[in-house]
Amino acid sequence: MATPFELTQDGFELQFAASHLGHFILTNTILPKVLAAGSGARIVGLTSSGHRYSGVRFSDPNFQEPGSYTRYDAYGQAKSAVILYAVALNKRLARRGVHAYAVHPGSIQTNLQSHVMQVPPEELAVMMEDAAVRVMGMSLEEYRRTNPWLTLQQGCATTLRAALDLGLVKREGVYLQNCDLTTDAKWVREWATDPELAEKLWTLSEELVGEKFDV
C-alpha cells in the first residue's frame, strides 16, 4: 500500500502488479478448477475504499509519464482494478453459477501501512489528510472518531460473507463493505464498476502479461 515508485522485474508498477496483474494470471489459470467445483463457487478479491482515490490509468498504467506517480494514485488504480476484474469475471462466469466479488475489509491495524509510516511527518500529514478527504469525504480526525479500527476478527467478516452467503447472488453489484453489498456511488465509484471499463481492463491486462485467456 502506497509504496515508493518501483517497477517489478517484468516492468510493471509494483502496486498494480501485486493487487491486480498477479491475481489476473493466477485466477484465469486456475479457472478450470473453479468451474469444476460447480455452481455456487466464488472468487473473492480484496480491494479497498482507497479505490475511490483514482481509477485505472489505461494510457499509462505503469506511470511512465515523468512526474505522474503518487503513492495513492497508484494504490487507487490497483484497487479499482480489483473491482473491475470482478465485474469482468461475472460477465463471463455468472451464467455458469460462479460469482466474483471485491471486498473492502475495513480499517484494520496491520503492517499494511508500513511504507506510509516511513514518509517524513510533515509530508505524511498532508498526504493522509488529502487521502481521507478524497476517499472518505471527511478529515482524517473526523473519520477516526466515527470509524474506529477493526479487530482482525471483525476485519474477516466481510470477506467471509462474500465467500459464503448464497443470498448475495440474488442482489446487484460486486463490491462489499461493512458486511454488505452496495452499488451506492458514494461508496463504490463508477470507474470501478463500469462494464465497458471492465472489458477495457481485461484487454489491457492480457496485453501487459502477454497471454490470452479464453473464458
Q: What domains can you pick out in the chain, each with its CATH number? A: 14-209 (3.40.50.720)
The two most distant CA atoms of the chain are separated, in Å, by 53
The C-alpha atoms of residue 29 and residue 213 are separated, in whole angstroms, by: 8
Other CB atoms closer than 10 Å to residue 62's CB: what's the count? 19
For residue 133, what pLDDT is reported?
87
For residue 32, what pLDDT is reported?
95
Q: Which residues are catalytic?
A: 69
Residue with cell string 464498476:
193
Phi, then psi, of 212 in degrees rounded to 5: -100, 140
For residue 122, what pLDDT is reported?
82
The C-alpha atoms of residue 160 and residue 164 are separated, in whole angstroms, by: 6
Give, as one character, the DSSP assignment of residue 21.
I
Contact in structure between 81 and 16 (CB atoms under 8 Å): yes
The C-alpha atoms of residue 50 and residue 123 are separated, in whole angstroms, by: 19
What pTM was estimated for this model as a whole?
0.93
For residue 192, what pLDDT is reported?
98
For residue 125, what pLDDT is reported?
82
Closest CA to 104 of 28, 25, 45: 45
What stretch of H or E contains 100? strand 99-104
In sequence order, what are the residues at sequence separation of 6 or more whose Cβ sits closer than 8 angstroms to the Cβ of residue 73?
A: 53, 54, 57, 63
Contact in structure between 77 and 61 (CB atoms under 8 Å): yes
* Tens of each residue's pLDDT in the chain, 215 residues: 989 999 999 999 999 999 999 999 999 999 999 999 999 999 999 999 999 999 999 999 999 999 999 999 999 999 999 999 999 999 999 999 999 999 999 988 888 777 877 778 888 788 888 888 888 888 888 888 888 889 989 999 999 999 999 999 999 999 999 999 999 999 999 999 999 999 999 999 999 999 999 98
